[in-house]
Amino acid sequence: ETGVTQTPRHLVMGMTNKKSLKCEQHLGHNAMYWYKQSAKKPLELMFVYNFKEQTENNSVPSRFSPECPNSSHLFLHLHTLQPEDSALYLCASSHLTSGGGANTGELFFGEGSRLTVL
Amino acid sequence: GQNIDQPTEMTATEGAIVQINCTYQTSGFNGLFWYQQHAGEAPTFLSYNVLDGLEEKGRFSSFLSRSKGYSYLLLKELQMKDSASYLCAVLDSNYQLIWGAGTKLIIKP
């Protein structure tokens, strides 16, 4: 496989359920991201992992819990979600420049996990 | 605050030319990206501009004016497969990507 793979592609869950989204990248990148995409809104950055270390947490509610066991895998654990959390959750990866670890900007996205919270 | 503005939706005819504009106000500037996203698919990279001027890549071109905080994506010889959303994003001084809400382009025969 190549690129960025996300599973599941679709998920329906109740507010009391616990589920996880999975992302895997086969590009040798050293940074991985979770984004939330809602209709007609800009992509919202949720979490960033650089070299497996979390470097960004953009005021995301604690009902979203990321996990990055290695540079190729990223999880988003979900629990007690709200209906307004229904959205497309996109995983992305990128290459960081050496030294300063600055994001080069070009992101490679997975096709997303469409989440519906009932 | 930081802001990226682009039209919500545009319609064009197959074979024609369309220009999608993007204006930005950000804390610093380290480049501007355009991504294409077909419905139900992943966004994919189209172009990157960091210097003023026009970058051409086949039927697609991207223009940047840093002094005006302005960019456009120009699509020529439109094809039905070009129907998609086009996302503008700016890399700010902290190397964070600031995203626009996207422009949905509808191509009619």
> Cα(A87)–Cα(A36) distance, rounded to whole angstroms?
7
Residue B58's contacts (CB-CB under 8 Å, 6 or more residues apart) are none
> Cα(A92)–Cα(B9) distance, rounded to whole angstroms?
25
Q: Which residues pair with B12 in a beta bridge?
A: B107
Instruction: Give one word for B58, left, alpha or beta, with left for phi > 0 and alpha for psi -120 to 50.
Output: left
Nearest to A111 among B31, B42, B48 (CB): B42
Residue A15's contacts (CB-CB under 8 Å, 6 or more residues apart) are A80, A81, A82, A83, A117, A118
Q: For residue A75, what are the CA distances in angstroms to A36, A68, A117, B10, B49? A: 14, 6, 18, 36, 32
Residue B91 forms contact with A (CB below 8 Å): yes
Which 8-state DSSP code applies to residue A86?
A: -
Residue B87 forms contact with A (CB below 8 Å): yes
A97 pLDDT more than 70? no
> How far away is chain A from the Cα of B14, in angstroms, using its nearest Cα?
24
pLDDT digits (tens, 9 = 90+) for B32-75: 999 999 998 999 999 999 999 999 999 999 999 999 999 999 99
Q: How much of chain B exceeds pLDDT 70, in percent?
A: 100
What is the arithmetic mean of pLDDT over B8-30? Answer: 96
B12 pLDDT more than 90? yes
Chain A residue at shortest CA distance from B87: A42
> Cα(A4)–Cα(B42) distance, rounded to whole angstroms?
9
Cis peptide before A8 (omega within 30 of 0): yes
> How far away is chain B from the Cα of A16, in angstroms, using its nearest Cα?
27
Q: What is the pLDDT of residue A104?
A: 61
Mapped onto helix, strand or coil, the DSSP state of residue A95 is: coil
pLDDT digits (tens, 9 = 90+) for A72-91: 999 999 999 999 999 999 99
Residue B43 forms contact with A (CB below 8 Å): yes
Q: How much of chain A exceeds pLDDT 70, in percent?
A: 88
- CA dihedral (B39, A57, B46, B85) positive or negative: positive
Nearest to B8 among A40, A103, A111 (CB): A40
A99 pLDDT more than 50? no
Averaged pLDDT of chain B = 95
> Cα(B4)–Cα(B88) distance, rounded to whole angstroms?
8
Contact B42 A40 (CB under 8 A): no
Contact A107 B87 (CB under 8 A): no
Mapped onto helix, strand or coil, the DSSP state of residue B81 is: helix
Q: What is the pLDDT of residue B108?
A: 96
Chain A residue at shortest CA distance from B41: A111
Contact A103 B97 (CB under 8 A): yes
What is the arithmetic mean of pLDDT over B26-36? Answer: 94
Q: How much of chain B exceeds pLDDT 90, in percent?
A: 90
Chain B residue at shortest CA distance from A58: B96
pLDDT digits (tens, 9 = 90+) for A1-58: 569 999 999 999 988 889 999 999 999 998 999 999 999 899 999 999 987 677 777 7
